[in-house]
A and B are shown apart, each in its own frame.
Chain A
Amino acid sequence: MDRNPLAERIAACLGGGGKLLVTYFTAGHPDLETTVRVVEAAGEAGADCVEIGVPYSDPLADGPVIQAAATRALRGGFRVAWTWEIARRVVRSGVPLAVMTYVNPVLRYGPEAFCRDAAAAGVAGLLVPDLPPEEAGELGRLARRHGLALIPFVAPTSPDHRIRMAVEAGQGFVYCISVTGVTGARPEVSARARELVERVRRYTRLPVLVGFGISTPQQAGEVARFADGVIVGSSLVARVDAAASPEEAVRSVRELVAGLRQALPHPDDTFCRPGRGDTPPGAPTARAPR
């Protein structure tokens, strides 16, 4: 996996004393074009990785915002193959991509074909929230063969032996679910997140990131004091959902991502400069694709 763009970006960011910012968008929400534009905007505004979520009819780890986005995308005619088109188009902008999907669409597509097509589209990582390590053996092997990092999840309810099992099989980074619950903004960062991150560090040298319930720069900054980075999804998806036009979605996403970036140290201080959020779309980014 030495040529994996996600692994390279992680190494460059953390190696330079930075913290990682991962953002999530639902593919095809509200349409394919807008997804391409908001993913690019997030990359330009300083996201180190963008997760592209495959809309699913029965997203049981997701709260109302991402459920509604998935429903909207599916009503708009979303097909799994759109994920590859979005990836092919945004990967040129240089931001590392991961695909987040529930397991059934992968099984239906065929795990081998799914990994092959993801890799061919330039995807670097894979997240499958309803595939615990006990069931992940085959997909893990296929992902590895195609150079994809299968990113492991741990939860506050995971006992130590489960954390060990998850991180031993996983690659890329460890996704710490900060709360018992589904995705969605919450008023405060769970006190359990810190305890979980500390437990995870005993078993792995992979970067440890925290997601679920983080929506504001202030929360991101708080989490970055003990974790290697944050994952922000629902609050970005809500902005895309509320936008009246693709331009407004891009502007709104750019503003929040820039704000989150400012709250997280980064070796490339372009992203930490105040006013970054006002840069027009398409402006050259200081960070070349690696």
Chain B
Amino acid sequence: MAVYPWPDERGRFGEFGGRFVPETLMAALDGLEEAYREALADPGFGAELNQYLRTYVGRPTPLYAARRLSEHLGRGRVYLKREDLAHTGAHKINNALGQVLLAKRMGKRRIIAETGAGQHGVATAAAAALLGLDCHVYMGEEDMRRQELNVFRMRLLGAEVIPVRSGSRTLKDATNEAIRDWVTNVETTHYVIGSVVGPHPYPAMVRDFQAVIGREVREQILALEGRLPDYLVACVGGGSNAMGLFHPFYSDRVRMVGVEAAGEGIETGRHAASLTAGSRGVLHGSYSYLLQDEDGQVREAHSVSAGLDYPGVGPEHAFFKSTGRAEYVAVTDAEALRGFRLLSRLEGIIPALESAHAVAYLEKLAARLEPDDVVVVCLSGRGDKDVPMVLDRHGRKGGNGDGP
């Protein structure tokens, strides 16, 4: 297999990706690309990042054999990649730390970020505190309400959380506001994008920082099973934990499944499944799939999970979809909530609602598994942040949290 050639020099993965941003940002993107290339070539940068990943984040995160879950499914052996055990509670820290280190190297003193569920905001705030930089996080008002605990955590970590009141008051609007801030303060500020989205070089850079997930899985599964997995399963909002898991297996005979949020059901139109039910276009600086109306106005996404509640998706996932390298499916809010309870009961692990989508899909995947198939699921984050919301949902329905 030849060396993976994407993105090309125009920042394209096949026809997807590119840079669709105001001219004011173009020089900064060139500068970022160059700084990133230099950092990659500098063994000192990699050593410093690895040191932090080991001693601060707690990597490598375990690959856990989920026996009771596997028994429940009746076929296959399921392993959970425990990103929920990473510092700050999700895979987001891998990228946040990499980018904040890069920002410091570039001489930027001010960090901005957007956040949906708040996990990327918390991770960026932690990394900024660690490295002594000034941090401002844009967050939709609706998400601040849904994820109050993370707002408090960010503030404890010294970040300023800026409420966003435009549009649907969720991740899409927080991203718009962060880009507007960056356009204004581009010379002093680095924008830490939290997923494999945005203009080139972000999708590639975030992928590279998250690929530590897949590299560790490869070593761990070889040690545990003596072979590579048959399936990789991960939830996809913007798609960073999925790309981090998938990418190191690109050239292997390993099937990849990205699980999007079907919200209240694809047929209701109230979902966040850009790849499953969206169409091609530009959102937040790159050409990919998105949810849009006939006029190209971006539609609001809907998901019980704030981290998946985004109408776009990373361009490399669009590329994987178009070439068939990965398969993309969607599970509903109700199915995800069942996955949330299932993992809690069977394994004593409360997953993030985002990750619960990947767990929920296993019940469907089971039907096509061979008895000895090895399945690795990325448990991208822990669910403590979601407990109040799940409780509230049960409260409204008059239930007591029992089930599935």
B12-30: CB near A (< 8 Å → 1, else 0) gives 0000001111111111100
Asked if B193 CB lies within 8 Å of chain A CBs, one says no
A49-61 contact mask (Cβ, 8 Å, vs B): 1 or 0: 0000000111111
Stretch at the interface among B37-45, B71-79, B234-242, B288-296: B288-296
* Chain A residues closer than 8 Å to B21, beta-carbon distance: 60, 130, 132
- List the B side residues contacting A162 at CB < 8 Å: 23, 26-27
Q: Are A130 and B20 in contact (CB under 8 A)?
A: yes
- B221: which A residues are within 8 A, CB to CB? none
Q: Which residues of A contact B296 (CB under 8 A)?
A: 56, 80, 104-109
Name B residues whose Cβ lies closer than 8 Å to a Cβ of A: 10, 18-28, 166-167, 172, 176, 179-180, 183-187, 280-285, 292, 294-298
Find the A residue at minimum CB distance from B287.
A107
- Chain B: which residue is nearest A107 at the CB level? B281
Contact A180 B183 (CB under 8 A): yes
**Pair A180/B186 contact, Cβ less than 8 Å:** yes
Q: A76: which B residues are within 8 A, CB to CB?
A: none
- CB of A289 within 8 Å of the partner chain: no
Is the beta-carbon distance between A132 and B24 smaller than 8 angstroms?
no
What is the interface residue range for chain A against chain B? 35 or more
Which A residues are CB-close (under 8 A) to B176?
58-60
Residue of A59, A166, A182 with highest tally of chain B CB at under 10 A? A182
Q: How far is the CB of A167 from chain B (nearest CB, A)?
A: 12
Contact among B27, B172, B281 with A157 in the assembled complex (CB-CB below 8 Å): B27
**Interface hub of A67, A155, A156 (most chain B Cβ within 10 A):** A155
A-B contact list, 21 entries, CB within 8 Å: A57-B167, A58-B284, A80-B296, A103-B282, A108-B281, A108-B295, A109-B296, A130-B22, A132-B21, A134-B10, A134-B26, A135-B19, A155-B22, A155-B26, A162-B26, A162-B27, A177-B22, A177-B23, A180-B24, A180-B186, A182-B183
Within the assembled complex, what's the spacing in Å between the Cα atoms of A233 and B292?
Answer: 27
| Cβ of A215 to closest chain B Cβ, rounded Å | 17
Given contacts A57-B298, A58-B172, A181-B184, contact A104 B282 (CB under 8 A): yes
User: Within the complex, what minimum Cβ distance (angstroms) separates B130 from chain A?
Assistant: 28
Docked Cα-Cα span, A181 to B187, in Å, equals 11
* B180 x A182 contact (CB < 8 A): yes
Q: Is the CB of A245 closer than 8 A to any CB of chain B?
A: no
Known: A130-B20, A162-B23. 14 other contacts (CB 8 A): A56-B296, A57-B167, A60-B21, A107-B281, A131-B20, A132-B26, A134-B10, A134-B26, A135-B19, A154-B23, A157-B23, A157-B27, A166-B23, A177-B23
The answer to whether B295 touches A132 (Cβ under 8 A) is no
Please determine whether A79 and B295 come into contact, CB atoms closer than 8 angstroms. Answer: yes
A105-B24 in contact given A58-B172, A60-B179, A60-B180 (Cβ < 8 Å)? no
Shortest CB-to-CB span from B289 to chain A, Å, is 12
How distant is the Cα of A187 from the Cα of B246 in the complex, in angstroms? Answer: 50
Contact of A109 among B24, B26, B187, B295 (CB under 8 A): B295
Once bound together, how far apart are the Cα atoms of A71 and B283, in whole Å? Answer: 17
Q: Which A233-255 residues have a C-beta within 8 angstroms of B?
A: none
| Residues of A contacting B18 in the complex (Cβ-Cβ under 8 angstroms) | 134-135
Distance in angstroms between the alpha carbons of A79 and B25 in the assembled complex? 29
Task: Give A180 to B187 CA distance when docked, in angstroms.
Answer: 9
Interface flag for A159 (CB, 8 Å): yes
A residues near B23, Cβ cutoff 8 Å? 129, 132, 153-155, 157-158, 162, 166, 177
How far is B37's CA from A251's CA once the two chains are assembled, in angstroms? 56
Smallest CB gap from B279: residue in A:
A108
Given contacts A132-B19, A155-B23, A180-B186, contact A107 B297 (CB under 8 A): no
- Determine the residue in chain B with the shortest Cβ distance to A130: B20
Chain A 134-187 residues near chain B, CB threshold 8 A: 134-135, 153-159, 162, 166, 177, 180-182
CB distance from A40 to the nearest CB of B (A): 25
With the chains together, A71 CA to B176 CA distance in Å? 14
| Shortest Cβ distance from residue A28 to the other chain B in the assembled complex, whole angstroms | 11
B187 touches A157 (CB 8 A): yes
Chain A residues lying within 8 Å of B167, measured Cβ to Cβ, are: 57-58, 71
Known contacts A104-B298, A108-B296, A157-B27; is-contact A180 B20 (Cβ 8 Å): no
Q: What is the CA–CA distance of A109 and B283 in the complex, to the nearest angstrom?
A: 15
Complex CA–CA separation, A159 to B21 (angstroms)? 16
Shortest CB distance B115–A (Å): 17
A158 to B186, CA, bound (A): 12
B114 to chain A, nearest CB (A): 12
Among A46-99, those with CB < 8 Å from B are: 56-61, 63, 67, 71, 74, 79-80
Name which of B20, B22, B185 has the most chain A CB atoms within 10 A of its CB.
B22
A107 — which chain B residues lie within 8 A by C-beta? 280-282, 296
Bound complex: CA A155 to CA B22 (Å): 9
Query: Contacts of B27 on A, CB cut-off 8 Å?
Result: 157-159, 162
In the complex, the answer to whether B295 meets A105 with C-beta atoms within 8 Å is: yes
User: Are the CB atoms of B282 and A181 closer together than 8 Å?
Assistant: no
Closest to B166 in A: A67
Complex: A180 Cα to B184 Cα, angstroms = 5
